[in-house]
Structure 1
């Protein structure tokens, strides 16, 4: 009976997850070309050598890294700030939760098209800037501003999800801790530093790592908004893998890129496991001592 329920799910996992992963690993050691698969040969580590010598791949890697460095602190701090504000609100709290969470459930393609209109030379953002005496900005049409502009849009779209996580953590903190701090005449900053942050540390690690992994997977925003331009300034790792495999049909080379990308994700997952384990252990020991 157990296998009758588990079997279909296992079959789907094998067909659409484990088998593609295995084939990707195998193809990464070949020169498999999708338009002429009969002439496939084993090339060993040649594909891996090519991608590390490829200037476009290096550019895509650094663009992705820049995006991660912008979005991780901005989205983490923004989510924590919104959670702290909404946690203090006593009126229309549900409205604010829904309002900030709506962009999360919207399609990234739809959000990207919306922000293309906002960033356009005649868009609402440049109109507002003109009213305060600032010249119109090129935003996604400039090689210098395109990546930060996409990062700002991505923060707006995703911050609601992490906000809900932090809000749940804030509501789980024992109010008696704050009451004890108030009896000791602790300031608001002291309560935040000595109570709120230590209690949220496990969540902070989780949110930080998940945002990082999600940022490394960015593809929809530059694909819709800039096409990887201007001058490949928004060309990312996943975008490079997509174009190599589905536009140029170089499946072997794209598979090697995917394996390298997976290595980054695995490293981040290991870091997440180590950091979360340490934080949770200290958190549990602290609670035990308090009891």
Structure 2
């Protein structure tokens, strides 16, 4: 009898809990889970949206097509290059900026605001500003010319167009991660640094042997967020190239290619969702590898 009443109470409490969670679960189901399931379903079909939605089952054909699509290979290559360069540099820059602000420099509050301003700017607006700066007669080439350094056609030259986007995004994204690092630095006990000073450690030694090890969990989080964000590069590439991924496909990314196939080509919506599903798998694998690597590092 006691067990029966206790089990009823547990069921009642569980029901109340699910009732309170229902609004969030419904929203997640409609706007997150349902679109994911729909995208997976469409990836196995040829989809015609004009003149009424028409679905034709294709099995794994859309996924097999990726292996023969030269533009998909270029987009994957550009995206991987972008990720491999941007993630480490933005993480390192964020850590250096946070450490410099945490060192008690004069005007610390002022520099916090100045450093964080790029993050507050709209991505589209920031891209337009940099396009003006990257113009052949723009600010950056003017400064390079004053320093007697070579100037570039930043937007029109395939060899530097992707690099131009990298520079812009490192400068714009690092301050966001800087704030995360800055909050983590406040939690490192001062006694660690005081003990290191008594042992005669230099500033660089304290940074490398105390600051960096204590920030490993935060660094893992920053790298994972950076991986997810960089793999999804779209708006800057779209604005820079006018949606084409040019010049000569040098700024073509996977997400931009998905957009082109989904909304600019007829009958390729299913192929676009297959590309999106492939990108999600790549991001998941990269995230899991990073988590595994960070856990192995913490054991030493």
Q: Higher helix share goes to which structure?
A: 1
Residue among 231, 235, 256 paired with 2:252: 235
Aligned in 2, Cα 1:273/1:70: closer, same or farther, shift over 3 Å?
closer
Write the deviation string for residues 34-68 of structure 1: whole angstroms up to 9, x where unpaired: 22555421110000011121000000000001111
Matched with 1:286 is none
CA distance in 1, matches of 2:130, 2:53: 45
Matched with 2:233 is 218
How far 1:4 sits from its partner (Å)?
5.0
Write the deviation string for residues 165-184 of structure 1: whole angstroms up to 9, x where unpaired: 11122221111011111111
CA distance in 1, matches of 2:173, 2:214: 23
Gaps of 5+ in 2: 1-15
CA distance in 2, matches of 1:39, 1:90: 64
Matched with 1:119 is 134
Matched with 1:253 is 271
CA distance in 1, matches of 2:216, 2:285: 21
Aligned in 2, Cα 1:159/1:236: closer, same or farther, shift over 3 Å?
same
Contact 2:62 2:270 in 1 (8 A): yes
Matched with 1:58 is 73
Matched with 1:48 is 63
Residue among 68, 91, 103 paired with 2:106: 91
Please give the residue correspondences for 1:131-280 in structure 2 after superposition, counting only pairs within 5 Å: 131-227=146-242, 228-249=245-266, 250-278=268-296
TM-score (norm 1): 0.91
How far 1:5 sits from its partner (Å)?
4.1
- The number of aligned residues is 282
Matched with 1:76 is 91
Write the deviation string for residues 195-236 of structure 1: whole angstroms up to 9, x where unpaired: 111111111222122112211000011101123110010000
Contact 1:27 1:255 in 2 (8 A): yes
Greater CA drift, 117-126 or 135-144: 135-144
Gaps of 5+ in 1: 284-291
How far 1:3 sits from its partner (Å)?
4.7
